[in-house]
Amino acid sequence: MWRRRTTGLLLAPGLAVLALVFLYPVAVTLVAAPAGVDDGGLADRLGALAADDHIWRAAARTVRVAALVTGLCLLLGLPVGFLISRGPPRRRAVLLALAVFPLLLSTVVRTYSWLVILGRTGLLSRALTGLGLAERPTQLLYTETAVVVGLTQLFTPLVIITAYGAFAHVHPDLEAAARGLGASAGSAFRRVALPLALPGVLVGATLVFAGAVTAFTTPLLLGGTRTPTLATLLYDYANVTVDWSSAAAVALLMTVIVLAAGALAARAPAKAAPS
Amino acid sequence: MTRRHPVVGAVAAVALTFLLGPILLVVGVAFTAGDTIEFPPRGLSLRWFAQALSYGPFLEALRTSLLVAVAGTVLALALGLPVALSLNRGGARPRGAIGTLFTLPVVVPELVLGYALFQTLMVTFRVSAFGALLAGHTVLLLPYAVRVTGASLAQADRSLEEAARGLGAGGWATFTRVTLPVIGPGVAAASVLSLVTSFNNVPLSLLLNGPGTTTLPVAMLHHVEFAFDPLVAAVCTLLLVLAVVVMLVTERLAGFTDVLARQEADRWRP
C-alpha cells in the first residue's frame, strides 16, 4: 500500500535537517576544523588537551562531582521510586506528579533557590550564626559542595522516575514470598526487589551521571569561577577568552565521557540481569 | 497489606522535601519588601512582581523565548511526524539505525551542540544568530517529536486506516481524517513537551548570542550573575505558577505526567 517513494519523501526532510544542522556541525567541531575558523583540527585539539592542566583538573572535578551526585540521587530517589510503585493508585499519581513537577521548571529556577539557602545572607548562614555555630555570616556558595547539592536536587527526579518504572515491573508477590520465608522488609527490598530492578535503575544512574557531567547552569551559579567544571570551562573558552581549539578540546572530552558512560551502561544490564 | 520498612518512608519524605522545599522558599523571597534575596522575607509586598512585569529586558527575552519555542515546536513536528510515519507505517529501513540517528541530538551535550552550531552556522555559513538559535532548538526538539508521535502511531489501531483505504480514501485523506485524529493526544503531548523543553533551554541561546537571541532563562541567569535583588525570585514564582497550570491542564488532556516521565527516562533509547 505504501510506495517506496512516499516513505522516502517523508523521511528526507527530517534526515536532511538532522544532517545539516546536527551531524555535520558536531562532527566538524569535534574532529575537524570548520572552514573560516582559526583552529587546526584534531591534532590541535589533542595538543590543547595535553598541554592544559586546567582542563584536566576541571575534568577530574567534573567526574568526581558527577559520581557523587549519582550516588546521592540514587540514595534519595530509589526509596521514593519504590514507594510510588507499591502505593495505591491515587497516592501513586500524586507522588509521581510531585516528583515530575520540577522537570517542568528551568534549571535557572531550580538552581536559584540554592542562592537563597546557601548565600552569605542565606537561610543556612543565618541559622548557623543564630545558633552560635558560626561567628559571622559564612559563604557556602562557590564551593564544590554547593554544586553537588544543587545538582542532586536537579537530577533526583530522574532516578525516581526510572526506579518507579523498574520497580513497577517487579511483582510485589516476590517480596511477599521473601517475607513469608522470613525476610525482613528491608532485606526483601535489598535482596529481591532491588536486584530485579537493577537494569532500570542503572539507566537512571547513567542519565544522572551524563546530566551532571554536562550540566551548565548549576556549576555556573553555585560553583562560580573558582570551581570550574568542563561545562563552565567550555563556555569560558568559547565566549570569554575565545580560545577555540581549547573549547573544541573540552567539547571533545565532554562528549567522550558522556558516550563512554552510555556505552558502559548499555553493556552492563546484560551481565547484571539474571537470564 | 504488607508493612513497609519505616526507613523507606522516612527517606522518601526527606527526598521530597529536598526536591520541592527550596523551590517553595523562592516564592517567599519574591514577596519581600526588602532589597535583597532573603528568607524569611523582610515585610511583605508585591513590588518585585510589579517590577518584573515591567522590566524591559525580561519582557523582550520572554518574547524571544515564546517565539523560539513555538516556531521550534512547529518545525520539529512538521519534520518529525513524517519521519515517525515513514518508520511506523512506511516500513523505512534500517529502522533501528534511523531511530538511533534521531535520538542523537539529546545524547550529545547541549553545550557541545550550541558551540558546534555557533562555529558552523554562524561563523562559517554566516547564518544570523536568531536563525542558528531556531535551527538549534528545532534539532533539539526533533527527537521528542519523532518518538512521542511514533509511540502514538505504534499504539494506534491500524485496521481503522486499512478500513478507510478499503473504502476508497486516498493516502492524504486517510492521514488527515483517520490517522491524525487518532494520534491527536500524542501530537498534543509532543507539542507541550517540546514547548517546555525549548522554553527552559539555557545552553543554546547562551552560546548562540546575538541580537534578539537572549531567552528568558538566559536573561535571568545574567541578572543573577550581577545583581543580588529579588527580581528573579518574582519571575521564578510566576514561572512556577505557569508550570502548575501547564501540568494541570495537560494532565487532563494527555496524561502528561506519564508522557514526561517516560520521555525523560527513555531519552537515550531509540
Nearest to A79 among B15, B136, B202 (CB): B15
- Domain with residue B154: its CATH number is 1.10.3720.10
Residues of A in contact with B113 (CB under 8 A): 22, 25-26
ipTM of the complex: 0.90
Quick one: pLDDT at residue A272? 46
The pLDDT score that the predictor gives to residue B1 is 40
The 8 Å CB, 24+ separation contacts for B27-34 are B27/B233, B27/B236, B27/B237, B27/B240, B29/A116, B29/B230, B29/B233, B30/B230, B30/B233, B30/B234, B30/B236, B30/B237, B32/B230, B32/B233, B34/B230
Domain annotation covers residue B73: yes
Domains of chain A, with CATH numbers?
A: 42-272 (1.10.3720.10)
pLDDT tens sequence across A38-49: 556 677 777 777
| C-alpha angle B234-B237-B240 in degrees, rounded to nearest 5 | 155
User: What is the chain A residue with the closest CA to B203?
Assistant: A216
Q: Which pLDDT band, with edges at 50, 70 and 90, does A274 fall under?
A: very low
Query: pLDDT value at position A275?
Result: 34
Contact indicator for B62, B179 with CB cutoff of 8 Å: no
Contacts of B268 in chain A (CB under 8 A): 203, 206-207, 262
Tell me the CA distances in angstroms from A233 to A115, A143, A249, B187, B247, one per residue in order: 21, 16, 11, 38, 35
pLDDT at residue number A262 = 86
pLDDT at A270 over 70: no
The DSSP call for residue B44 is B
- The answer, yes or no, to whether residue A273 has pLDDT greater than 50, is no
Is residue A36 pLDDT above 60, yes or no? no
Q: How confident is the model at residue A265 (pLDDT cuts 50, 70, 90)?
A: confident
pLDDT of residue A35: 58
Find out whether B201 and A215 touch, Cβ atoms under 8 Å: no
Say what the pLDDT of residue A105 is. Answer: 93
Question: For residue A68, what pLDDT is reported?
Answer: 98
- Name the nearest CA neighbour of B259 among B189, B155, B185: B189
Q: What is the mean pLDDT of chain A?
A: 87
By Cβ distance, the residue of B3, B98, B246 closest to A185 is B3
Please identify every stretch of chain B with a pLDDT value under 50, giving residue numbers as ranges: 1-2
Segment A191-211 mean pLDDT: 90
Q: How far is CA A90 from the centre of its chain?
A: 29
Q: What is the pLDDT of residue B198?
A: 96
Residues of A in contact with B12 (CB under 8 A): 79-80, 83
Answer whether A100's CB lies under 8 Å from B260's CB.
Answer: yes
Subunit contact B15:A160, Cβ cutoff 8 A: yes
**Beta-carbon separation of B115 and A164 below 8 A:** no
Res A134: pLDDT: 78
Cα of first residue to Cα of last residue in chain A, in angstroms, is 40
Q: pLDDT per residue over B23-70, tens digit each?
A: 999 998 899 888 888 778 888 889 899 999 999 999 999 999 999 999
Question: In this model, does residue A30 exceed pLDDT 80?
Answer: yes
Determine the 3-state secondary structure of B32 from DSSP. Answer: strand
Task: Please give the average per-residue pLDDT across A73-101, as a whole number.
Answer: 89
- Nearest-5° Cα angle at A255, A249 to A257: 105
The residue whose grid cell reads 567522550 is A256
State which residues form the domain around B35. Answer: 6-265
- Which residue type is seen at B155? Q
Q: How far is B28 from chain A (nearest CA, A)?
A: 10
Query: Rounded mean pLDDT of chain B?
Result: 89
Q: Tens of pLDDT along A145-172?
A: 999 999 999 999 999 999 998 998 888 8
Asked if residue B87 belongs to a domain, the reply is yes
| B-chain residues near A186 (CB < 8 A) | 5, 7
On whether the CB atoms of residues A193 and A175 are closer than 8 A, the answer is yes
Return all residues near B205 (Cβ < 8 A) that are at least 6 apart. Answer: B64, B68, B133, B213, B214, B215, B217, B218
Tell me if B1 is assigned to some domain.
Answer: no
| Partner residue opposite A79 with nearest CB, options B8, B101, B138 | B8
pLDDT of residue A48: 73
Classify B75 as helix, strand or coil: helix
* 8-state DSSP, B102: T
Rounded distance between C-alpha atoms, residue A258 and residue A264, angstroms: 10
Measured between beta carbons, the chain A residues lying within 8 angstroms of B20 are 98, 101-102
Tell which wins on pLDDT, A221 or B2.
A221
Nearest neighbour of A34 by CB, restricted to B120, B138, B142: B120
Number of domains comprising chain B: 1
Say how many Å lie between the first and final Cα of chain B, rounded.
39
The answer to whether the CB of A185 falls within 8 A of the CB of B6 is no
User: In the predicted model, is pLDDT for residue A216 greater than 90?
Assistant: yes
Nearest to B198 by CA among B57, B113, B73: B73
Q: Which residue has 575537524 as its cell numbers?
A: A32
A1 falls in which pLDDT band (50, 70, 90)?
low
**Is B213 within the bounds of a domain?**
yes
Q: What is the pLDDT of residue B2?
A: 45
For residues A246 and A15, the model is more confident at A15
